[in-house]
Amino acid sequence: MAAYSTAKAGVIGFTKSLAKEVATRGIYVNCVTPAVIATDILAQLSDDAVGYMTAKIPMGRTGRPEEVAAMVAWLASDECSFTTGGVFDISGGRATY
C-alpha cells in the first residue's frame, strides 16, 4: 500500500499547490479521496478481501457510487464557489492517505 498511499499524497499536494496558483483566475481545484466504493472492481476481489477492507471502515460498509457522485456534483456547483485546495474525504471515516 506504500505506492498507493504515496500517489494519493501526491495528488493532495498537487491539489493544494495548484489551487493556490490559479485561485485569482476563477479556477477551483479540489480533490476527492474515496475509500472502498461498491463498484464493479470489487467483483474482482474475494469476499475475504472486501471484508478485510470494509472492517477498517468505521461506518462498517462500503461507499456507494451515488454518494461520491453527490459530492462531486456539489464541488462542481455554484454552492462551492469559495472552496479551493480542499481534500474531500469520502471514506466512511477511514482516510486512506
Instruction: Please answer whether residues 29 and 19 qualify as being in contact, where contact means their C-beta atoms are separated by less than 8 angstroms.
Output: yes
Q: Has 4 been annotated as catalytic?
A: yes
Q: How far is CA 30 from the centre of its chain?
A: 10
Active-site residue, from 4, 28, 52, 97: 4
Positions annotated as catalytic residues are: 4
